[in-house]
Structure 1
Amino acid sequence: MADTGVTAQVQDALTHPILEDDAVSRWLGFAVEHLGPGEATISMELRADMLNGFSIAHGGIVFAFADTAFALACNPADAASLADMELITVAAGADINFISSALPGEILRAAATHRISAGRSGLYDITITASGPEGSRVVAEFRGRSRSIPNPRHHSRA
């Protein structure tokens, strides 16, 4: 895993049950920096295999990275496993606004925050920043719309 400025001890201590079988998250190689009720921050180094033809971050990579922070913020981190969660919260929709380009070798951070919930629906804002030799800047703003649904993997389902 790339050095994202987070110690290995912190990386090992912060995990989430939805990451157990998440191959895309493993491929992205991010570190979980913060988990809290309705909040999550993750980071990763932008690698060469994440770039588009202009040698900047591919928009789909930035979107997937933000979507992962969104998923972590939407679902409780204290469940022992995904099967323990009776309800899961998934994306009902999302929008992203790209503000600036991210370059290879920069450290991306996605900070997700819950804004409001009504019934089974919620809104989350995720800010994606890039840190490089010239400092930190906003790369994109992502707004996720969530919906809580029954967990198809819940162990007590018949």
Structure 2
Amino acid sequence: MLLQRDAFSRLLGMEVLEASPGHAVVRMTVRDDMVNGFGTLHGGALFSLADSAFAFATNAGGTLSVAIDTTLSIPAASYPGDVLTATAESRSSTNRLEFVDVTVRKHDGSAVGYFRGTVYRTHRSHNPD
């Protein structure tokens, strides 16, 4: 599984709940060492969670897909102890491009992040032989 080779996602304590081509669900608990100077989750940590869900969804089929464009909107803050779940869903796919939306929600169901990304599909396997 890709998570075994993804040291950064493991460092942040991410857990892949589901991963299939075009779909992934990834969970992470906000820790004290992930907050900014205001005591809320650092935007980079939130981006990393959404980006990892995006990567697991677009690479689940074994074909190396790399991000070429991403954006993140943050409608609400997250705090230490919050359990966040990022759900990635493919919206459109061509031979070389895939467009994916990721919504990050707190354990109470409220949205804390909206991520959109585009990958370029290389047609090369990322599985080690």
Relative to the length of structure 1, the TM-score reads 0.75
Alpha-carbon shift at residue 19 of structure 1 (Å): 1.8
Which of 12, 17, 20 is the equivalent residue of 1:33?
Answer: 17
Q: Which has the higher strand share?
A: 2
Instruction: For residue 37 of structure 1, report the CA deviation from its aligned partner.
Output: 2.7
| Amino acid across the alignment from 1:142 | F
Query: Offset of 1:93 from its aligned partner?
Result: 1.1
Which residue does 2:88 correspond to in 1?
Answer: 112
Q: Is 2:43 the counterpart of 1:59?
A: yes
1:141 aligns to 2:117 (yes or no): no
Identity %: 35
- Unaligned 5+ segments in structure 2 are none
RMSD: 1.8
Q: For 1:123-152, what per-residue CA distance to the aligned partner results, in whole angstroms no more than 9, with x for missing partners?
A: 000000112xxx331001000111112548
What is the distance in 2 between the residues matched to 1:129 and 1:115? Answer: 19
- Could you report, residue by residue, the CA deviation over 1:29-65 in whole angstroms, capped at 9, with x for unpaired residues? 1111122331000111100011000100000000011
1:141 aligned partner, one-letter code? Y
Deviation at 1:106, TM superposition (A): 0.6
- The number of equivalent residue pairs is 129
Q: Measure the CA separation in 2 of the matches of 1:108 and 1:119.
A: 32
Work out which of the two has the higher radius of gyration on C-alpha atoms and give 1 or 2: 1
Runs ≥4 residues deviating over 4 A? 152-156
Question: TM-score scaled by structure 2?
Answer: 0.91
When residues 138 and 154 of structure 1 are mapped into structure 2, their CA distance, relative to the original with a 3 A threshold, is closer
Deviation string for 1:58-90 (max 9, x for gaps)?
00000011000000000125xxxxxxx4x3011
CA distance in 1, matches of 2:16, 2:126: 24
Structure 1's unaligned 5+ residue stretches are 1-15, 78-84
Matched letter for residue 140 of structure 1: G
